Amino acid sequence: MSISEDFYLKRRSVMAKKMSPEPIKESVLNQIIQAGIRVPDHGALNPWKLAIIQGKQRAIIDKEIIFKEYIKKNPNSDKYFHEIESKRLQRAGAVIAVISTPVDHPSIPLWEMQLSSGAVCMNLLSCAQSLGYAAQWLTEWYSYNDTMLTYLGGRVGIDKISGFIYIGHKTEEPKERKRPNPADVINYL
């Protein structure tokens, strides 16, 4: 057996700004979500939650949360940034917010619960890309915003946004990006 040359050895994200934002078919999105949440999770605690953002919700969150929060923190910003900050989520057909929601546990460390949430992000990303969709894992500034966290159902001071998985349609194949030199990051003991 060998790793699929067509997928894992060539997998590549497509920048949100380069994807096309038509809706993602419900059956496809469900498949991505169902496969995406099959991740290693010590103790089966499910220490993460997903918020699915699509259709009109994208523009609502862009206007009511992202743009408003941006203006609050950058009252003197110009039109160029207003354009960007008022359309963040509308770059994709669907955006899946992954929230790390750790629980108190006598032996399983917080770190492992947070790692599992990262695994959900990566799994969603790979699933979407394996089906031929354009997808990118983004945090940008609003992942660290408490109003956004609260809107998504997270608990301030406990939960964290692991990322937003943007899913759209490809308009062109992405170019390869610089990859690590194996010798720099791998040590065979």
* Interface residue list for ligand FMN (CB under 6 A): 12-13, 136-140, 163, 177
Residue nearest ligand FMN (C-beta atom): 13
Please, what is the minimum distance in Å from the beta carbon of residue 107 to ligand FMN? 27
Please, what is the minimum distance in Å from the beta carbon of residue 106 to ligand FMN? 29
Of 13 and 116, which has the nearer Cβ to ligand FMN? 13
Rg, C-alpha atoms of the chain: 18
Of 86 and 105, which has the nearer Cβ to ligand FMN? 86
SS3 12: coil
SS3 59: helix
Of 79 and 177, which has the nearer Cβ to ligand FMN? 177
Chain Cα centroid distance, residue 121: 6
Please, what is the minimum distance in Å from the beta carbon of residue 90 to ligand FMN? 17
b/e string for 107-141 if b means 16 or more Cβ within 10 A? ebeeebbbbbbbbbbbbbbbbbbbeebbbbbbeee
Please, what is the minimum distance in Å from the beta carbon of residue 130 to ligand FMN? 12
